[in-house]
Structure 1
Amino acid sequence: MTLFLSMAAFALAMSISPGPVNIVALSAGARYGVRASMRHVSGATIGFTVLLIVVGLGLHEVLVRWQWLTLGIQLGGVAFLLYMAYNLARDDGGMPTAESSKGPSFFHGAAMQWLNPKAWLATVAGMGAFVANGDVWLLLQFALIYFVICYLSVGSWAVAGGFLRRHLSEPRKMRLFNRSMAALLAASAFYLLWTA
Structure 2
Amino acid sequence: MEAAWLASATGFALAMSATPGPNNAMVAASAVNFGLRRSLPHMLGVSIGFPAMLVLVALGAGEVLAASPGLQAALRWVGAAWMLWLAWKIATAAPAAPGATPRGRPLTLLQAALFQWVNPKAWVIAGAAILAYGASPLLAAIFGLAAFGSLLLWALVGLGAARVLRRPGALVWFNRAMAALLVLSLVPVLRG
Is TM > 0.5 for Structure 1 vs Structure 2?
A: yes
Q: Is contact 1:26–1:160 with CA below 8 Å preserved after alignment?
A: yes
* CA spacing shift, 1:148–1:192, aligned 2, 3 Å: same
Superposition pairs for residues 70-89 of structure 1, below 5 Å? 70-89=72-91
Which amino acid letter does the alignment assign opposite residue 114 of structure 2?
Answer: A
Q: Which runs of 4+ in 1 moved over 6 A?
A: none
Equivalent of 1:165 in 162, 170, 187: 162
Q: Is contact 1:27–1:181 with CA below 8 Å preserved after alignment?
A: yes
TM superposition shift of 1:102: 4.9
TM superposition shift of 1:104: 2.5
Equivalent position SS for 1:166? helix
Q: Is contact 2:46–2:112 with CA below 8 Å preserved after alignment?
A: yes
Superposition pairs for residues 16-27 of structure 1, below 5 Å? 16-27=18-29
Q: For 2:49 and 2:30, how far apart are their aligned partners in 1?
A: 18
Aligned to 1:135: none
Unaligned runs of 5+ in 1: 132-137
Equivalent of 1:38 in 37, 40, 64: 40
Which amino acid letter does the alignment assign opposite residue 120 of structure 2?
Answer: P
Aligned-residue CA RMSD (Å): 1.8
TM superposition shift of 1:187: 0.7
TM-score between both structures, scaled by the size of structure 2: 0.91
Q: Is contact 2:29–2:175 with CA below 8 Å preserved after alignment?
A: yes
Which amino acid letter does the alignment assign opposite residue 105 of structure 1?
Answer: T
TM-score between both structures, scaled by the size of structure 1: 0.89
Which amino acid letter does the alignment assign opposite residue 189 of structure 2?
Answer: L
Q: Is contact 1:36–1:101 with CA below 8 Å preserved after alignment?
A: no
Q: For 1:193 and 1:9, how far apart are their aligned partners in 2?
A: 29
Superposition pairs for residues 42-57 of structure 1, below 5 Å? 42-57=44-59
How many residue pairs were aligned? 189
Aligned to 2:6: 4
Q: For 1:188 and 1:128, how far apart are their aligned partners in 2?
A: 23
Q: For 2:94 and 2:165, how far apart are their aligned partners in 1?
A: 13
Equivalent of 1:123 in 121, 126, 129: 126
Q: For 2:103 and 2:19, how far apart are their aligned partners in 1?
A: 30
Q: Is contact 1:93–1:173 with CA below 8 Å preserved after alignment?
A: no
Q: For 1:146 and 1:193, how far apart are their aligned partners in 2?
A: 26
Which amino acid letter does the alignment assign opposite residue 116 of structure 2?
Answer: Q
Aligned to 1:106: 109
Q: Is contact 2:96–2:103 with CA below 8 Å preserved after alignment?
A: no
Deviation string for 1:89-144 (max 9, x for gaps)?
A: 1222235834857533212211221210110111111111111xxxxxx5101111
Answer yes or no: is 1:91 the counterpart of 2:93. Answer: yes
Between the aligned residues of both structures, percent identity stands at 32
Aligned to 2:145: 148
